[in-house]
Amino acid sequence: MSARPQESATARLSRLLTMVPWLLAHQGVDIDTAAAQFGITHEQLDADLSLLFVCGTPGHLPDDLIEADWEDGRIFLGNADAISRPLRFTIDEALTLMVGLRALAPGASGAHQDAVNSALAKLETATGVAGGVASRVTVALPQGPESGVLSTVEHAIKDRRRIHLRYLSARDEVTDRDVDPIRLVTLDAHWYLEGWCHRAEAVRLFRVDRIESIAVLDLDGTPPAAALAQDPRTSAFVSSSDHQAVVMTVTPGARWVAEYYPAESVVDHPDGSRTITVRAADLGWVKRLAWRLGGELCVVSPPSLGAAIAAEADTALRAYAVPAPSVPPAGEARP
């Protein structure tokens, strides 16, 4: 979890103004569901409800205050008529949904496309001005690759069949794997297959353009229930506590690394740099990332990995007749 700065009063107010109508529409909801809906802890929700409880209409006599009861683990709210409707969308809120819908429209099939367009029209009416602004941001989702891989995968997902892949891995090796496909995902310009990999015994993402060949096996391909339940938004460079911890600092320009690879912890520093901890089974991608980012990323731990990054970069530079540095790479024995 990233270390967040102290929440501002306006951020909290804005959550409360949505929470009240949400709770009114979900009377008796259990505390865990409500906390998950707003992405807050049990304690924060408790504090929010305690705060609502002392607010109300002018006079602030008992009859004027918001009624909140959550003692038996279920939340009931009342006497909050003034704020019983959610506030209009902010520009960013309208923008994210409308740009998302516009992006979906071209790729959607007939009936689905109608749904996208009618939802968009309704949102435009409801958001008014914000809708016009949102139209100036556009996203072109990637078209499906020409190969038959996509349709094969789609059928395998639908029929719950296991597939066999010859796959060019991120380690630059061609590997053979049996995979129970879960879903297709596009991230920016690329298509990915998310599936339960029997070789890794874990959920993995496979870039569709790196699949060299695919065969549908005559085997049941239902992924384990736990794999299906995973949040589709988490990347499949899945962190596992069995793997080695790698601690790195990145400059402000490379802060995205923390969002691109699932980080175990993220600490933001006042100068905009970040310290990120990831768990990795294969340290190769960390090295490649360090070379690609040319000094914007510094591996702090394990020291042997930092030393390997320096030593291999140095070897690579010799091909260009670049002299060795005056300071020997960390971890290398000094003469």
Partner 1 sequence: MTVQPSVAAKTERLLNLVIALLSTRMPLTKARIRAAVPQYQATASIEAFDRMFERDKDELRELGIPLVVDVVDPLFDDDQGYRIDRREYALPEIEFAPDEVTALALAGQIWSHASLAASANAALTKLAASGVELDDQSIVGAQPRVSTTEPVFEPVKAAMLARRTITFDYRKSDGTTSTRRIQPWGMTQWRGRWYVTGWDLDRQAERVFRLSRVADKVTAVGRAAAFDPPADHEPRVLVRETESVPIDQPPAILRVRRGAANLLRRRARTIGEVDDEWSLLDVDYRDEQDLAAEVASYGVDVVVEAPDAVKTAVITLLTAARDRHTSGALSNAREEAP
DSSP single-letter state for residue 237: S
| C-beta separation of 227 from 212 below 8 A | no
Q: Which of 31, 55, 216, 281 binds partner 1 (CB under 8 A)?
A: 55
What gap in Å lies between CA 19 and CA 35, rounded to an integer? Answer: 10
User: In whole angstroms, how close is the CB of 214 to partner 1 at the nearest point?
Assistant: 16
Task: Return the half-sphere exposure (C-beta side, CA atoms, 13 A cut-off) of residue 244.
Answer: 13
Reported residue count of the chain is 335
Looking at the Cβ atoms of 190 and 243, the one nearer to partner 1 is: 190
Q: What is the dihedral of CA 195, 198, 204, 209, to 10 degrees?
A: -70
Q: Compute the distance between CA of residue 163 and CA of residue 311 in angstroms, rounded to an integer.
A: 40
Binder of partner 1 out of 41, 69, 82, 282 (CB under 8 A)? 82
Q: Does 177 bind partner 1 (CB under 8 A)?
A: no
Task: Choose which of 33, 69, 199, 291 interacts with partner 1 (CB under 8 A).
Answer: 291
Shortest distance, position 222 Cβ to partner 1, whole Å: 15
Amino acid at 304: S
Which one of residues 181, 195, 221, 306 is an interface residue with partner 1 (CB under 8 A)? 306
Q: Any contact of residue 183 with partner 1 (CB under 8 A)?
A: yes
- The closest of 103, 91, 105 to 134, measured between CA atoms, is 91
- Establish if 30 lies at the interface with partner 1 (CB under 8 A): no
Cα dihedral sign for 135, 120, 151, 231?
A: positive
Interaction residues for partner 1, span 116-175 (CB under 8 A): 116, 118-119, 122-123, 125-126, 133, 136-142, 154, 168, 172, 174
Subset of residues 224 to 263 that bind partner 1, contact rule: CB under 8 A: 232-233, 247, 249, 252-253, 255-256, 259-260
Site for partner 1 in 85-114 (CB under 8 A): 85-101, 103-104, 107-108, 111-112
Instruction: List the interface residues with partner 1, window 3-22 (CB under 8 A).
Output: 6-10, 12-14, 16-19, 21-22
Smaller CB separation from partner 1, 30 or 314: 314
> Angle 201-155-159 (CA atoms, 0-180°, nearest 5)?
70
**Nearest distance, CB of residue 204 and partner 1, angstroms:** 16
Give residue for tokens 């609502």: 52
CA 274 to chain centre: 18
